[in-house]
Chain A
Amino acid sequence: MTWLRRVATVAIVSLLALGALWLALRLAGLDATHALAALWDGSFGSSYALTSSTLVRATPLILTGLAVAIAFRAGVWNIGAEGQLLAGAATAAAVGLFAPPALGAFTVVAALGAGALAGAIWAWIAAYLRNRFGMLEVISTIMLNFVALYAVGYLVRGPLQEPTHVYPQSEPLPPLAQLPRLIEGSRLHWGFVLAVLAAPVTWWVLRYTAAGFRVRAVGQSPSAARVAGMVDVQRTTLRVFLVSGALAGLAGAIELTGVTFALYENVSPGYGYTAIAVALLAGLDPLGVLATGLLFGALEAGALSMQREAAVPSVVVNVVEALLVLLILAVAKWRGGSAMLSRLAGAGSETRAEAAE
């Protein structure tokens, strides 16, 4: 029942946002219908578009969306999925490039594992700053995003630069460090399967394990979790930071080993920021993230084709995504359902205040 309603809400909101896009394009004097057709063609229009574009794009969005969802569920405002993703990508590149050949087929596994670990470590910094110094993670994770971005910039011009030292990027990964294709002839790789599996696993952990129950309790009411449940709130939020960072880091590692094969500065077109919209549209539900991740993957894939076919700048997809978020906030307000999110905000600041003291 609630599920149906949520799906219906997202569908209606998406149609509204696309309608707004159509209207805006019309007002700008463009062939709006053609543009939307291109959007469709580039996302779901053909099996090639679906597998090589939409699902490939959806993979990092689902993983980072899960990272954000689980963090927000615990009242942890991790805006740093982007930086954690970059840390994962850079580490995966280093492991993939420098792994001893003896690792063989395990090279890619090692690269993914190292990427997830790097993401967790990058998130741990923010967790440490919050628990030790009471620093708002909103601020620290954003700062760390920039540090990660510039660190990647440095790496691709320094230690990881390709041998000719001409281009600011790394050498391509050796085949052993690349994720195998899921469907021959398409760009879809096994990372997509990992992402699709991660969603129900996350859902199950939150719903059916004691650790997941603690996460939800801390997110809803840190004081009740601590006083009534005798839950160690700091330890719980620390673990959530680590898991969230690991998911984002894994997204980066998969993107590198499955899609780009080389590290460069713009390896992420802002997946970690879009992830916030993905998670929110899903109501912070891991299974919902699977659906909204696909939706946003389709939007971004379609936007590229829209730019090619109809000369509509692909950045308009950001406008559509923003509209989706704002509309869903408005719908939540209208239905009186935004209480969950507002409480999360209050809860977050409360645990922070405790950490600061």
Chain B
Amino acid sequence: MTSTDDPSSHISSPALLALEHIAKRFGRVAALSDASLVARPSTVHALLGENGAGKTTLMRIAFGELRPDSGTIGIDGSAVELASPADALARGIGMVHQHFTAVPAMTVAENVALASGTRGRFRPAEARARVLKLCEEVGLELDPDAVAAELSVGMQQRLEIVKALARGARVLILDEPTAMLAPAEGEELLAMLRRFTSRGNSAVIITHKLREALSVADDITVLRRGRTTLGARAADTDAEQLTTAMLGESHIVHPRRERTLPPVREERSGRDGVVREAGPGDGRRLGSDASEAVIEARDIVLRDDRGVTRVRGATLGVHAGEILGVAGVEGAGQHELLRALAGRMKPTSGSLRIPERAGFVPADRQRDALVMDFTLAENVALAGAGAAHGRMHWPAIERSTGELLDRYGIVAAGVHASASSLSGGNQQKLVLARELARSPRALVAENPTRGLDIAAAAALQRQLLDARDAGMAIVLYSSDLDEVLALADRLVVMFEGVARDVALDREAAGRAMLGAA
């Protein structure tokens, strides 16, 4: 989809939102040094940059969540100060965060009513009608009586959008809105944004996907290390120019090819739309029925804590020396499937054979992988805590922790530093190092590179590949389909709790994620 057919985008009109020369420091770290973005009416604007470039920080400033150290914010052509999100909302700026902010126990109608004011009566019938009207205006479908906790991720995102609309947003900021959606869901979302902007509004999409920016946006702003390196109409730029703006000159290896992924993926990527070429050793991995599977699941059914069936039958095997990629839209059951394969969840029925020790890198490392107030040594010891008995031999544990820090290049003040003192990338490295250190026969990783910068993500992916080459059986899920395709030897796609083998092909995987044959 190109955007040049929209005549209004060529007419010079006052910007709905203009951020100019914004700088913001957190302690010693400069998150933004000179960032600018101008969102014009009737346009979809892509804010492009790699992880850690400052995209979200800039938009949180636009939404009044953070105050800039310097620079100006203009709304409708006049300079403003935004002290709080309430200020921003009052001026027509709405934001949909990556982490949704609905109240899980309340219905859609209640959530929307809550978002649109705290004075006066609450009449359920009126609130319901309001939701339906707002949905109709932008062509969304959303059940006003559904309880937020029971909505799918896509529906939750719609709720967030309706909440912003209910408060009269004219500029809608969305943080990585397509990251957790299946490709077709993403397209629906973008169509909805088109309807929204066609009435003179503006949408700003934060994304790190170059292809997405080029295909949906009218305007593109590129941030690199807190600085705006490019601001252009989508029609006037191309992938090469954007890549340079995102990564800088030195990063370019194959300038002709679109790539936002680190070099490590490149060699394995089969992204060109056709079946990837077989590389050395692939035959063994793909036709791995010969060797016995390390992990073997037969018709397993999984129920979550609330008793909801999340996996309705998965049969799969993972062999030594292969990476089984798992793809699926958020909530399709992969979360539970991975936990079961890692031995962290017992199937309700079906047979599951897993090695006694399986490494596990959970998605939420701060919640599920690390005890933030424990020392690094204690966190390393945590991995065997359930089965340990007798005494804890701290000197030995501290010694091996020190070795892990050296071997994996984890930057820390020492084995007695707390996990909370580590950066996100180093925390994730520590988790992976800990799991690999116990040399398990199998490793299950859920979104292991989320939130890491390119270098850290590449290092982590390298380690996964090395572990595979050393004969480990690996299960990898990533919400970034391209990452799965780049690393996996085989692919399983989850849809509504059912696992299906799918060819390593972007289109086929995308269709399977939506349940299409």
A-B contact list, 28 entries, CB within 8 Å: A208-B392, A210-B391, A211-B389, A213-B381, A213-B385, A214-B386, A216-B374, A217-B374, A217-B378, A217-B382, A217-B385, A220-B372, A220-B373, A221-B372, A223-B368, A224-B368, A226-B344, A227-B362, A227-B368, A228-B362, A228-B382, A229-B382, A229-B385, A230-B343, A230-B387, A231-B385, A343-B373, A357-B306
Could you tell me the distance between the alpha carbons of A210 and B374 in the complex, rounded to whole angstroms? Answer: 15
Chain A interface, >50% SS class: helix
Q: State whether A224 and B392 are in contact (beta carbons under 8 Å apart), knowing that A217-B382, A230-B344, A230-B385 are contacts in the complex.
A: no
Chain A CB within 8 A of B517 CB = no
Q: Is the CB of B367 within 8 A of A224?
A: yes
Additional 18 contacts, C-beta under 8 A, given A207-B392, A229-B382: A209-B392, A210-B385, A210-B392, A212-B392, A213-B381, A217-B378, A217-B385, A220-B371, A224-B371, A225-B385, A227-B344, A227-B360, A228-B369, A228-B383, A229-B384, A231-B386, A357-B305, A357-B307
Q: Which residues of B contact A212 (CB under 8 A)?
A: 392
Which residues from chain A contact B392 at a C-beta distance below 8 Å? 207-210, 212-213
A8 within 8 Å of B by Cβ?
no
Assess the B388–A210 pair: CB atoms within 8 A: yes
Q: What's the Cα separation between A87 and B325 when bound, in Å? A: 57
Min distance, Cβ B303 to any Cβ of chain A, angstroms: 11
> Which residues of chain A from 158 to 214 have any CB-CB distance to chain B below 8 Å in the complex?
207-214
- Interface residue? A31 (CB, 8 A): no
Determine the distance from Cα of A160 to Cα of B374 in the docked complex, in whole angstroms: 49
B306: chain A residues within 8 A (beta carbon): 357
Inside 8 A of A213's CB, which chain B residues have their CB? 378, 381, 385, 388, 392
Question: In whole angstroms, what is the CA distance A340 to B420 when docked?
Answer: 13
Q: Provided the pairs A209-B392, A213-B381, A214-B385 are in contact, do residues A228 and B370 lie with their beta carbons within 8 angstroms?
A: yes
Distance in angstroms between the alpha carbons of A99 and B339 in the assembled complex: 54
Do A220 and B374 form a contact, CB below 8 Å, given A210-B385, A225-B385? yes
Measured CB to CB, the residues of A under 8 A from B are 207-214, 216-217, 220-221, 223-232, 339-340, 343, 354, 357
Tell me the complex Cα distance, A224–B391, Å.
21
Chain A residues whose CB sits within 8 angstroms of the CB of B373 once the complex forms: 220, 339-340, 343
Interface residues of B in 322-361 (CB under 8 A from A): 339, 343-344, 360
Q: Tell whether B394 is near chain A: CB-to-CB under 8 Å.
A: yes
Known: A209-B392, A213-B392. A230 touches B386 (CB 8 A): yes
Residues on A with beta carbons closer than 8 Å to the beta carbon of B343: 230
B390 at the interface (CB under 8 A from A): yes
In the complex, the answer to whether A221 meets B385 with C-beta atoms within 8 Å is no
B386 to A, closest residue via Cβ: A230
Asked if residues B374 and A228 are in contact (CB atoms below 8 Å), the reply is: no
Tell whether, in the assembled complex, residue A224 and residue B369 are in contact, meaning their CB atoms are under 8 Å apart. Answer: yes
User: How many interface residues does chain B have, given as a range?
Assistant: 20 to 34
Asked whether A223 and B367 contact (CB < 8 A) given A209-B390, A343-B373, the answer is yes
B159-176 with Cβ < 8 A to chain A: none
Q: Which residues of B contact A207 (CB under 8 A)?
A: 392
Tell me the bound Cα distance from A230 to B387 in angstroms.
8
From DSSP, what is the main secondary structure of chain B's interface residues?
Answer: loop
B389–A227 touching, CB < 8 Å: no
Cβ contact within 8 Å between B369 and A354: no
Interface residues in B379-438 by Cβ distance below 8 A to A read: 381-392, 394, 431
- B386, A224: Cβ atoms closer than 8 Å: no
Give Cα A168–Cα B483 distance, bound, in whole angstroms: 76
Q: Which residues of chain B (217-263) have a CB below 8 Å from chain A? A: none
Instruction: List 9 tightest A-B contacts by C-beta distance, closest first.
Output: A229-B385, A230-B386, A210-B388, A227-B368, A357-B305, A231-B386, A221-B371, A229-B382, A220-B371
B305 touches A217 (CB 8 A): no
Which B residue sits closest to A357, measured CB to CB? B305
Q: How long is the Cα–Cα vector from A216 to B386 in the complex, in angstroms?
A: 12
Take A213-B381, A227-B360, A354-B305 as given contacts and tell me if A232 and B386 are in contact as well, using a CB distance cutoff of 8 Å.
Answer: yes
A231 to B384, CA, bound (A): 9
Write out the residue numbers on chain A whose beta carbons fall within 8 Å of the beta carbon of B371. Answer: 217, 220-221, 224-225
Nearest A residue to B390 via CB reads: A210
Which residue on B lies nearest to A207, using beta carbons? B392
Bound: A74/B409 CA distance, A = 33
Q: Are B368 and A228 in contact (CB under 8 A)?
A: yes
A335 to chain B, nearest CB (A): 15
Tell me the complex Cα distance, A216–B381, Å: 12
**Closest residue on chain A to residue B364 by CB atoms:** A223
Which of chain A's residues have a CB closer than 8 A to the CB of B305? 354, 357
Contacts of B368 in A (CB 8 A): 223-224, 227-228
For B307, B381, B385, B387, the residue with the greatest tally of chain A CB atoms inside 10 Å of its CB is B385
Within the assembled complex, what's the spacing in Å between the Cα atoms of A228 and B390? 20
Q: Which chain B residues numbered 258 to 299 have a C-beta less than 8 Å away from chain A?
A: none
Give min CB distance, A52 to chain B, whole Å. Answer: 40
B382–A208 touching, CB < 8 Å = no
Which residues of chain B are near A221, meaning CB under 8 Å?
367, 370-372
Nearest Cβ in chain A — how far from B313, in angstroms?
A: 23
Given A221-B372, A223-B368, A227-B362, answer yes or no on A210-B383 (Cβ-Cβ < 8 Å).
no
Per the bound structure, the CA–CA distance linking A224 and B367 in Å amounts to 6
With a cutoff of 8 Å between Cβ atoms, the chain A residues found around residue B389 in the complex are 210-211
Bound Cα distance from A213 to B385, whole angstroms: 7
State the Cβ distance, A183 to closest chain B Cβ, in Å. Answer: 36
| List of B residues within 8 angstroms of A357 by Cβ | 305-307
Residue of A nearest to B385 (CB): A229
Most chain A CB within 10 A, of B344, B382, B387, is at B382
CB distance A225 to B390 under 8 Å? no
Which of A209, A214, A228, A340 is in CB contact (< 8 Å) with B391?
A209
Contacts of A220 in B (CB 8 A): 371-374
* CB of A306, distance to nearest CB on chain B (Å): 41
A228's partner among B307, B360, B394 (CB-CB below 8 A) is B360
CA separation between A339 and B387, bound complex, in Å?
Answer: 29
Shortest distance in angstroms between A103's beta carbon and chain B's nearest beta carbon? 34
By beta carbon, the residue of chain B nearest A204 is B391
List A contacts of B374 (CB < 8 A). Answer: 216-217, 220
- Kindly identify, within residues 466 to 513 of chain B, every residue whose CB is under 8 Å from any CB belonging to chain A: none
Q: How far is the CA of A231 from the CA of B431 in the complex (A)?
A: 17
CA–CA, A340 and B374, complex, Å: 11
Instruction: Collect the chain A residues with CB atoms within 8 Å of residue B307's CB.
Output: 357
Cα A220 to Cα B381 with chains together (Å): 14
Taking the closest CB of chain B, its distance from the CB of A315, in whole angstroms, is: 38
Chain B residues 437-481 with CB under 8 Å of chain A are none
